[in-house]
Amino acid sequence: MSRAALLLLSLAALPATAQAPGALMPLPVQLRWDPGALPLDSTLTARLVAGPDDRLERGLARALGRLGRRIGQRVATGAGTDPAARLVVTVASPGQAVQTPDEDESYDLRITPERIELTAPTTVGALRGLETLLQLVAPAPGGFQLPAATITDRPRFRWRGLLLDTSRHFMPPAVVKRTLDGMAVVKLNVLHWHLSDDQGFRVESLRHPRLHQAGSDGLYYTQQELREIVAYARDRGIRVVPEFDIPGHATSWFVGYPEFASAPGPYTIERRFGVFEPTFDPTREETYAFIDSFIGETTTLFPDPYWHIGGDEVDPTQWNQNPRIQRFRRTRNLRDNEALQAHFNERLGRILTKYHRRMVGWDEILHSTLPSGTVIQSWRGTEYLGQAARQGLRGILSAPYYLDHMRTAAEVYVVDPLPTGLKLSAEEEANILGAEACMWAEQVGAETVDSRIWPRMAALAERFWSAASVRDVPDMYRRLSQVSLELERVGLTQEGHTARMLRQLTGRRDNPLLEALLTATMPPSFGQRAQLQRPIQSTPLTRLVDAARPDPWLRSRLEQQARRVVADPAGAVEARAELQGAFAGWQTLGAAIRALADTVPLAADGIPAAVAMGELGRLGQEALDRRGAGGSDGAWGAAALARLDSLAQPQGLLRLAGVDAVRTLVRGTP
Amino acid sequence: MSRAALLLLSLAALPATAQAPGALMPLPVQLRWDPGALPLDSTLTARLVAGPDDRLERGLARALGRLGRRIGQRVATGAGTDPAARLVVTVASPGQAVQTPDEDESYDLRITPERIELTAPTTVGALRGLETLLQLVAPAPGGFQLPAATITDRPRFRWRGLLLDTSRHFMPPAVVKRTLDGMAVVKLNVLHWHLSDDQGFRVESLRHPRLHQAGSDGLYYTQQELREIVAYARDRGIRVVPEFDIPGHATSWFVGYPEFASAPGPYTIERRFGVFEPTFDPTREETYAFIDSFIGETTTLFPDPYWHIGGDEVDPTQWNQNPRIQRFRRTRNLRDNEALQAHFNERLGRILTKYHRRMVGWDEILHSTLPSGTVIQSWRGTEYLGQAARQGLRGILSAPYYLDHMRTAAEVYVVDPLPTGLKLSAEEEANILGAEACMWAEQVGAETVDSRIWPRMAALAERFWSAASVRDVPDMYRRLSQVSLELERVGLTQEGHTARMLRQLTGRRDNPLLEALLTATMPPSFGQRAQLQRPIQSTPLTRLVDAARPDPWLRSRLEQQARRVVADPAGAVEARAELQGAFAGWQTLGAAIRALADTVPLAADGIPAAVAMGELGRLGQEALDRRGAGGSDGAWGAAALARLDSLAQPQGLLRLAGVDAVRTLVRGTP
């Protein structure tokens, strides 16, 4: 393939990024565009109308710094009393000292050609409004401007979270901080920080130092770092809910303290991924004294009123094989191991209450004996959310929002945190606090995590904040494309991810062929990759699959073009041409990638996908021809759909992103 | 311009990155390629033959981790006694507890098709050898390999440094750490850390907390962070020499402690750049008691035997205007302010001796009274290096190596740290310890610093390590291009810099036109930019000039092609075609960038350069035509050279990288 052809192929993959105003994400509750615009330059100054509030001042300074970097000119923070200030931020109260789900996050933003007025009942509301303001910055002839607008906004759900697993692969503080910066951009308010698991204990404990000394490979957060990160989050209106997963998923605790496990040990840090036997011994008072002491220590680090106990996937082996534990069960009339775990949780609950913390746990902890303040995080299925709500417990939904399942932004975006199928009363619905997306890190490291979370997380942030009726997928992608660039401005790395990983993988500065491959391929789901590659903790995450994006822009672009063709087979000329170009390019990839692999060893990973893309391209072209001809598809269509199901399976470690578009063409219905 | 044409234009800018073995930088003293190669895969294990040495173990683990990420397969650290280990690292001694310039950094590396033997007298030598080994990894059919080779290596100079200014713009710890990682890749051994200046005091002081509290805007390194960074450097065989610049460049000290200045104050952090009046009062005993206490505190953080006092650019205003200081001078018979500064330095010298530290200072401190262990860092000119050496003082050369002067890699590469013009005896030459490149940060921030240091610094690292006779510029560029990718693998960001900055600047994912502009333009020198833009500390560094590279690859590429044409006007067909392509493309840029600026406001910065590139392209084409015709140039040549001198000046804030190539064509001599 010629160099120029390759370039065109990879270029075709990139959608033009629209410059229209209104790249807001999440969309506000009410938005009215008004006539005119306010010009932005270094003459803009800001004024705070608020009580003394360091957090608000820092937040405003950060926002003005970002504004200045955006327009390439200094924007001064301005004197507090400047009557000529054109940005006036009025805040009634600094808000809760320790933020809870009840914090008021609403704000009003009014932009006229002369002035910007941001008004909020709390500092957190003002921080949300400043993000909206920054998203409105638009180019203008000779400079930048803010379109005149009137916005009233507040979140639909009060718990809008992201779980970050830092146990399976450690994420340095800088990664956690830039994740928080990204969360702030899209108005998320909970970092659920998964801090321990079989593969690593990531928190420095002064009371029980063998936890981090023996259980972390030296990769842990010092107490100073934890305090800094919690403060960093609070500065952005984000709560930090720590999770220490017990009684299972606990191997790393027992490396230093084997005496609290249900079998004698010794233990080493688990390097594989899965569900493992080591489990806390729920029958010994020493266990609870130890946990009590540890929780007491962590509550000095994590002020949040919630504390996540994990509680998922308890392997019963150690309990079943320990005669003393079996005896304990019998003497206490605990029917089964679930009842034993409920007993454990009940003891935990009492400890947490002593430290003024509410319990959060995965849906396995659901049990009739749970205290009413408990929060159930539903991961195995939406039904547990309903069960909890009916039982009067609070709930947050995660089951549909696992980022490592590698669903597309569109797939996760359309799933509402309040599933209609649950048939809850209004009172029961009120128990549902919100939702969390989960970034488990078995197959993700510090180098790749941004590309797995972002920009998909921004679409979910809109789902958790905006009205249920906001669900126009093409418009979501249009705005997501812009917001992803704003996320890069605060330090996230997903935009340059593929190019950077390819340079490192090939040792070449310029990788048009592999770029072309990765514009139209995606990583497999967590389960598929676990089965195909069986990675362990030290498996390098530097292969083509790690350079791939979960939802490359070309996927939604081609799918939209396919819908246009199907809706108007004779008329959609541009859409047809774009599809044809992609399909033709794909048919040349197999041979080209095969040749490349002669000198670039790791390119060989891409051969199966490249070959399959050739077939997909031919199938797509055929479907396109048939759409033009308008004939009946009959047997051809059925065979093509079956073939597409097969092509939708992982090819090597990559999935073909073009299957959706071709399926639309074959089906012939948009 | 069509999209495809644009792409071709920007592609032409990228040299093919050679895959030949031998992308070593710095080049070793002795290198012999042997027949065959050792295949690399996950069956490789390593064995240490050494006494107990945590630093060596960590270094080996890091190297194997990088090797594994490079080849996409796990490489186990292996058991210490594994007789089948194919990588055997033999180290005689852990080396100096506190590294000095006398540390032995030599190593021998022997690679056969069966085995790798790395032998070094010290751990630091072994670390250097591991970097060489990693640079030798090469693709092979179906995988990776190490070419068989025999290498003997040791540095030419024992002080090979990089100054990092973290005062003018703060660089977060993660930036400092990745800078150290890059330094280790190219075998540099001194981080000269500029920690205080008028614009910020960056070190937490427990004894004198108003230093960082009042003098840093909250942007400082905690003592814990400093200790971590010093340990991180030591792990990589890098010394950390702290610089606290006194008695001038000291405004930030006086914000919290105005009583030690030579005028009453109060003081605020300086936001402009330049030379300012605030200067320590050298006449008061309290000044020395304070400095003694501060040095005493910092020596617990920085174990290095050297301590840099700065001493440059003392503005005499405060001393001249203070009657008490004038009186002091008279009563002590101090002839002038230089003598007064010498008195100050003498007192400093006594304090440093008490804390077992040797003094390093900028060449202004040169004075007959300096103790013999003092090190003079020459920045104003090479002559001070000679003067110091003749005086029996040690010297390090920085004058030619200022990275903010934006010289090309080629320009700095050919300047030897031992200038022949100095006419030193062998004994005097031995006083020259080595050299340091300087990254001053007036016009550089955390986001842009990597792109300013790297990859040029790698070429300088070779100058400081390898033989003086190693000076083949095209070969240097060939290897630099590869090493730059290795530097990205350890976390540096220069490779993706321009694309990332352009996305943020334009709000567009895809910027072929501006990419094309920046493949052939460069930032102006420090002095030019200071004059043209007058930046202050809060000026956003997010303009086109900040996205530009100091030495874009196309510059040396076109210059080489021009030499080929000149050497063989009739024969160099490919070189001629490549130049023609570039010149033709440039002639379309002015109109295209002007049009782009209608919707991308900050693109307007590029209009003057784009227009000038059009003229340069026309001139280049004319010169090319004349080279083909073989006629006499006469008056045309003189006029063209004059025009080139003018085109070499900044156009807006950009300089044209193609001037060198066109000048070669006009001159007609390679």
Of all residues in chain B, the one with the smallest CA distance to A604 is B142
A622 at B interface, C-beta within 8 A: no
On the question of pLDDT at A82 being above 80, the answer is: no
Per CB-CB distance under 8 Å, the chain A contacts of B505 are 72
**What was the pLDDT predicted at A15?**
34
Residue-wise pLDDT for B188-198, tens only, equals: 999 999 999 99
Cβ count near A3 (within 10 Å): 14
Query: B83: pLDDT confidence band, cut at 50, 70 and 90?
Result: confident
Which of A610, A609, A615 is CA-nearest to residue A653?
Answer: A609
DSSP string, A303-326: --SEEE--------HHHHH-HHHH
DSSP string, A624-666: HHHHHHT---HHHHHHHHHHHHHHTS-BTTBEETTHHHHHHHH
The percent of residues in chain B predicted with pLDDT above 90, rounded, is 90
Residue with tokens 């805040």: A91
How many angstroms away from the CA of A62 is the closest CA of chain B? 12
Of all residues in chain A, the one with the smallest CA distance to B172 is A174
Of all residues in chain A, the one with the smallest CA distance to B224 is A224
E strand spans, B291-414: 306-308, 358-362, 375-378, 394-397
Whether residue B648 contacts residue B659, with contact meaning beta carbons closer than 8 Å, is answered with yes
- The one-character DSSP state at B143 is E
Distance CA B438, CA B453 (A): 9
- B426 token code pair: 């062998």
DSSP string, B598-629: TT-GGGGGGHHHHHHHHHHHHHHHHHHHHHHH
Per CB-CB distance under 8 Å, the chain A contacts of B140 are 601
Identify the residue among A136, A492, A542 best suited for mutation to test binding to B, counting B beta carbons within 10 A and taking the highest.
A542
- The one-character DSSP state at A541 is -
Query: A419: pLDDT confidence band, cut at 50, 70 and 90?
Result: confident
Residue-wise pLDDT for B587-607, tens only, equals: 999 999 999 999 999 999 999
For A335-354, letters b (16+ CB in 10 Å) and e give eebeebbbbbbebbbebbee
On the question of pLDDT at A17 being above 90, the answer is: no
B61 at A interface, C-beta within 8 A: no
**What was the pLDDT predicted at B369?**
86
A539–B602 CB contact, under 8 Å: no
Q: Which residue in the list B57, B117, B297, B313 is annotated as catalytic?
A: B313
**What was the pLDDT predicted at A537?**
96
The percent of residues in chain A predicted with pLDDT above 90, rounded, is 90
B139–A599 CB contact, under 8 Å: yes
A583-597 mean pLDDT:
98
B141–A598 CB contact, under 8 Å: yes
Per CB-CB distance under 8 Å, the chain A contacts of B17 are 507-510
B360-371 mean pLDDT:
92
Higher pLDDT, B16 or A554: A554
**What was the pLDDT predicted at A627?**
85
- The one-character DSSP state at A261 is B
Residue-wise pLDDT for B84-131, tens only, equals: 889 999 999 999 999 999 999 999 999 999 999 999 999 999 999 999
B7 at A interface, C-beta within 8 A: yes
Most confident range, picked from A82-91, A122-131, B567-576: A122-131
Query: A106: pLDDT confidence band, cut at 50, 70 and 90?
Result: very high
Give Cα B501 distance to the centre of its chain.
Answer: 20
Query: B631: pLDDT confidence band, cut at 50, 70 and 90?
Result: low
Most confident range, picked from A6-20, A421-435, B94-108: B94-108
**What was the pLDDT predicted at A7?**
40
Give Cα B435 distance to the centre of its chain.
Answer: 11
Distance CA B89, CA B109 (A): 9
Give Cα A249 distance to the centre of its chain.
Answer: 22
- Give, in order, the Cα–Cα distances in Å from A25 to each of A34, A184, A232, A369: 19, 12, 22, 41
Distance CA A327, CA A315 (A): 18
A500 at B interface, C-beta within 8 A: yes
The percent of residues in chain B predicted with pLDDT above 70, rounded, is 96
Parallel/antiparallel/unpaired status of strands A432-439 and A394-397 = parallel
Identify the residue among A17, A69, A546 best suited for mutation to test binding to B, counting B beta carbons within 10 A and taking the highest.
A69
Whether residue B400 contacts residue B415, with contact meaning beta carbons closer than 8 Å, is answered with yes
Distance CA A552, CA B646 (A): 46
- A228 token code pair: 């800094």
- The one-character DSSP state at A524 is P
Residue with tokens 């501006």: B514
Distance CA A82, CA A90 (A): 14
On the question of pLDDT at B21 being above 90, the answer is: no
Per CB-CB distance under 8 Å, the chain B contacts of A221 are none
Query: B371: pLDDT confidence band, cut at 50, 70 and 90?
Result: confident
Count, in order, helices (H) and strands (E) of chain B.
26, 18
The percent of residues in chain A predicted with pLDDT above 70, rounded, is 96
B56-73 mean pLDDT:
96
Whether residue B190 contacts residue B241, with contact meaning beta carbons closer than 8 Å, is answered with yes
**What was the pLDDT predicted at B84?**
83
On the question of pLDDT at A80 being above 70, the answer is: no
Residues 209-238, chain B: which have Cβ within 8 Å of A? 222, 224
| pTM to 2 decimal places | 0.95
Higher pLDDT, A331 or A4: A331
- Give, in order, the Cα–Cα distances in Å from B602 to each of A40, A184, A202, B1, B542: 13, 26, 44, 20, 9
B463 at A interface, C-beta within 8 A: no
In this prediction the ipTM stands at 0.94
Query: B485: pLDDT confidence band, cut at 50, 70 and 90?
Result: very high
A72-87 mean pLDDT:
81
- Give, in order, the Cα–Cα distances in Å from A476 to each of A19, A414, A670, B332: 15, 10, 18, 77
Residues 399-428, chain A: which have Cβ within 8 Å of B? none
On the question of pLDDT at B14 being above 60, the answer is: no
How many angstroms away from the CA of B418 is the closest CA of chain A? 35
3-state class (DSSP) for residue A621 = helix
Mean per-residue pLDDT of chain A: 94
**What was the pLDDT predicted at B5?**
46
Distance CA A353, CA A367 (A): 18
A172 at B interface, C-beta within 8 A: yes
B8–A11 CB contact, under 8 Å: no
- The one-character DSSP state at A370 is -
Residue-wise pLDDT for B127-158, tens only, equals: 999 999 999 999 998 899 999 999 999 999 99
Of all residues in chain B, the one with the smallest CA distance to A9 is B4
A266-286 mean pLDDT:
98
Which of A370, A415, A414, A412 is CA-nearest to residue A395?
Answer: A370
Which of A234, A245, A244, A243 is CA-nearest to residue A100?
Answer: A234
B602–A72 CB contact, under 8 Å: yes
B15-32 mean pLDDT:
72
Residue with tokens 């470690």: A653
Distance CA A295, CA B292 (A): 45
Residue with tokens 């019998």: A330
Distance CA A253, CA B253 (A): 47
B3–A17 CB contact, under 8 Å: no
**What was the pLDDT predicted at A3?**
46
Of all residues in chain A, the one with the smallest CA distance to B173 is A174
Distance CA B214, CA B227 (A): 22
Output the furthest CA–CA distance in chain A (Å, rounded): 81
Residue-wise pLDDT for A243-269, tens only, equals: 999 999 999 999 999 999 999 999 999
A110-124, B292-306, B378-392: least confident range:
B378-392
Of all residues in chain B, the one with the smallest CA distance to A17 is B508
**What was the pLDDT predicted at A19?**
36
A139–B599 CB contact, under 8 Å: yes
A139–B70 CB contact, under 8 Å: no
Which of B461, B636, B656 is CA-nearest to residue B559?
Answer: B656
B475-481 mean pLDDT:
97
Distance CA A524, CA A405 (A): 8
Helix boundaries (H) for B391-520: 409-413, 426-429, 449-453, 456-465, 473-489, 497-506, 512-519
Query: A14: pLDDT confidence band, cut at 50, 70 and 90?
Result: very low
Per CB-CB distance under 8 Å, the chain A contacts of B7 are 4, 7-8, 11
**What was the pLDDT predicted at B257?**
98
Which of A613, A601, A615 is CA-nearest to residue A655?
Answer: A613
Active site residue B313: yes
Q: What residues of A act catalytically? A: 313
E strand spans, A298-428: 306-308, 358-362, 375-378, 394-397
B543–A72 CB contact, under 8 Å: yes
Per CB-CB distance under 8 Å, the chain B contacts of A600 are 139
Which of B138, B37, B141, B40 is CA-nearest to residue A595?
Answer: B141
**What was the pLDDT predicted at B368?**
87
A73 at B interface, C-beta within 8 A: yes
On the question of pLDDT at A71 being above 50, the answer is: yes
Parallel/antiparallel/unpaired status of strands A375-378 and A358-362 = parallel
- Residue B160: strand pairing partners: B435
**What was the pLDDT predicted at A380?**
94
